[in-house]
Amino acid sequence: MIRSHKTKIGDWIIVAICLIIILVCLLPLLTVFARSLSSADALIKNKVLLWPVEFNLDAYKTVLGDSKYVWALLWTAILTVIATLTSMFMTTICAYPLIFDSLKGRKFLNAFIILTMYFNAGTIPNYLLLKDLDMLNKPMVLVIPGALSVFNMIIMRSFFYGIPVSLRESAQIDGAGFIQILLKIYMPLSKPVFATLALFYAVGRWNGFSDALMYMNNRRYYPIQLLLYNILNNIMQVEVASQEGFTMPGMSETLKAATVMIATIPILIVYPFLQKYFISGVTLGAIKE
């Protein structure tokens, strides 16, 4: 009796610790969200903690009225869709053939691919290659060099390995070719891993900025993160703000808060729905061959 009572207290202590952890996780987002919805005046008077003070949507109106920012959002969304589709295609056609024992040279191909995970030529050789290929400053430089992640390919391959061989063997007896087997058997059964990897690729592209920083000088094709970096570091300003001469102190802070929130919201909406998939995806990635 006494023991079960003790366990109960222990349970509540753990819940309390977890609540603190949740608060720490959410605190930065909550405070920035509150700041984005507060007046500049309240902000510089140190009044804004986790709740908006003098609630208004001015910062959002200003940011979403900035054609540069809205275009960057739209462009990054387009880019994310294109990059995710390209990457999923490449990952599938790379992972699928490698699961067949009968594939001659499979050992060599595996080693050839895995090696690139452990040894990378480095930033400058990659940059100079893209320069020689004349890909710099072209939109495709944000899609093609990162089109295939070996790590993700291994996750997909592990998932394919988990599909019973008997399924494809019976299809082969019925005269199905390799591509038919991929389309009719493997892809329909692989929805969880496809969802996971599409999420990884999409988040990677939506969040990526270092490739744009290095390879893209054309401001028109700046993805949202690079624009955000420039705004946060005062390299660029939200257009309307500079035009109308917002000299009010604190205004730039609320604007920055709003730019950060707008770029974050798409991700916050998407990832919880895919949780049950990505957990299994991460676990698969950890399995060694």
Binders of other proteins among residues 207 to 246 (CB under 8 A) are 207-210, 213-214, 225-226, 228-229, 232-233
Residue 103 contacts other proteins per CB under 8 A: yes
User: CA 133 to CA 125: how far, in whole Å?
Assistant: 12
Minimum Å gap between C-beta 226 and other proteins is: 8
- Does residue 30 contact residue 255 with C-beta atoms inside 8 Å? no
Residue with smaller CB distance to other proteins, 119 or 247: 119
Residue 165 contacts other proteins per CB under 8 A: no
Residue with smaller CB distance to other proteins, 125 or 164: 125
Which member of 122, 175, 188, 245 binds other proteins (CB under 8 A)? 122
Minimum Å gap between C-beta 235 and other proteins is: 12
Residue type, 202: A
Residue 108 contacts other proteins per CB under 8 A: no
User: CA 83 to CA 204: how far, in whole Å?
Assistant: 10
Residue 248 contacts other proteins per CB under 8 A: no
User: CA 244 to CA 60: how far, in whole Å?
Assistant: 16
- Does residue 248 contact residue 40 with C-beta atoms inside 8 Å? yes
Residue 161 contacts other proteins per CB under 8 A: no
Q: Which of residues 55-74 bind other proteins (CB under 8 A)?
A: none
Instruction: State how far the alpha carbon of 42 is from the alpha carbons of 31, 129, 234, in Å.
Output: 13, 51, 22
Size, binding site for other proteins by CB under 8 A: 93
Residue 14 contacts other proteins per CB under 8 A: yes
- Candidate segments 47-55, 61-69, 156-164, 185-193, binder of other proteins by CB under 8 A: 47-55
Helices (H) and strands (E) in the chain, counts: 16, 0
User: CA 31 to CA 33: how far, in whole Å?
Assistant: 5
